Homo-oligomer: A and B are copies of this chain.
Amino acid sequence: MKTLNVGMIGYGFMGRAHANAFRRVGNFFDLEFQPILKAACPNDLHKEIAIAAAQAGKMILCEKPLSMDGKEGLQMVRAIEKAGVPNMVYYNYRRIPAVTLAKQLIDEGRLGRIFHYRAKFLQDWTISKDLPQGGTGLWRLDAKVAGSGVTGDLLAHCIDTALWLNGPMEKVTAMTETFIKQRKHTLTGKVEAVGIDDASLFLARFANGSLANFEATRYARGHKALYTLEINGENASICWDLHDLHRLQFFDHRDEGRLRGWRSIHVTDSDHPYMSKWWVPGLQIGYEHSFVHQVADFIEGLQSGKPAAPTFRDGLATDYVTDAVLKSAKSGRWVTVQR
């Protein structure tokens, strides 16, 4: 097997998840290459590193969000596309088998006309006033490093999946809030204004005519990392949540009337996406496997010549939505999403 040096932009516990995926992928997927992981960094350095890597002709996998805003992201996309190097952004939830199954059902046309899309990402780990900002494990609270708060950290995940499952978004009206206005900064030792958004909500209209409702917060007591999504179509609906990531809820109106109900699909069979590579039916996989799948798909994309998504360009589309969300939250107006 040939080794493959891959630049990976990411950090902290995410870095561990990536490293784990790089080590494991070859044991479960038949691949020509064994990837070798390279350097890691936080959000505000993505641009410089990515552009330098592209110019050096290196392929690159980037942690999400792609960049601090669409303007930066566009520069990265141009550099990458000019250099022609393989590239991918780590919106790993696309590779949870249950979410991939949802995508298959949508692509097969089972839902019919889409009326509603609903997503939220709820956490509760920053409620304490005593939590400082900045430093190891807490850089996500520091706007200078993180860019935004939950908009870039959590909503970006919801948006990427939504664009993938439901197509482009047209416009948004948003609201953000910083519940705790001041926190001690770990590096300076001083109480400083908090620059990030603690919560971010928006309504949207998709190009396909459906209405959407998005929310992310780190102040939803009782939820650790509850990313949920639901899609309501004319003929069928789909529901999924990260706290039980190995299940997909599916309602099919074409089922016999008396016997219609939400099906709780335990996505662990060999005919479910990716699952033939793992154990036997009934035995669930976890969060980390989405990274193994992503690396496997990236390498298979190299082998087949069909690059795996989301590429940097796909990541840019998400950045454009988060830009619109932050702009709308500031202006109080509906904002059209750049495309």
- What residues make up the interface of A, taking CB atoms closer than 8 Å to B? 13, 16-17, 19-20, 23-24, 27, 101, 105, 115-116, 118, 122-125, 127, 173-175, 177, 179, 199, 201-203, 205, 209, 211, 213, 215, 217, 219-226, 232-237, 242-248, 250-253, 255, 257-266, 268-269, 271-272, 278-289, 332-334
Contacts and interface: CB of A to CB of B under 8 A. Distances in A.
Contacts of A243: 266, 282, 284
A232 B233 CA distance: 29
Given A260-B263, A260-B265, A282-B225, A244 B242 contact: no
Give the most central of A123, A205, A266, A281: most B CB within 10 Å: A266
Given A224-B266, A262-B264, A205 B115 contact: no
Stoichiometry, as copies per complex, reads 4
8 contacts: A105-B259, A116-B199, A221-B234, A225-B281, A225-B283, A260-B265, A284-B284, A332-B334
Given A226-B282, A243-B282, A287-B285, A203 B175 contact: yes
A281 B224 contact: yes
A49 B38 CA distance: 44
Contacts of A101: 258
* Interface pairs A-B: 4 shortest CB-CB: A225-B282, A224-B282, A222-B251, A261-B263
B282 A115 contact: no
A94 to B, nearest CB: 16
B211 A199 contact: yes
B13 A23 contact: no
Contacts of A334: 332
A210 to B, nearest CB: 9
B115 A217 contact: yes
Given A127-B234, A173-B203, A203-B203, A258 B269 contact: yes
B284 A245 contact: yes
Contacts of A202: 203
B260 A205 contact: no
Given A173-B203, A201-B211, A215-B213, A265 B269 contact: no
Contacts of A282: 123, 223-226, 242-243
Given A17-B279, A175-B211, A232 B261 contact: no
B225 A280 contact: yes
A69 to B, nearest CB: 23
A164 to B, nearest CB: 19
Nearest to A227: B282
Contact of A284 (B260, B263, B286): B286
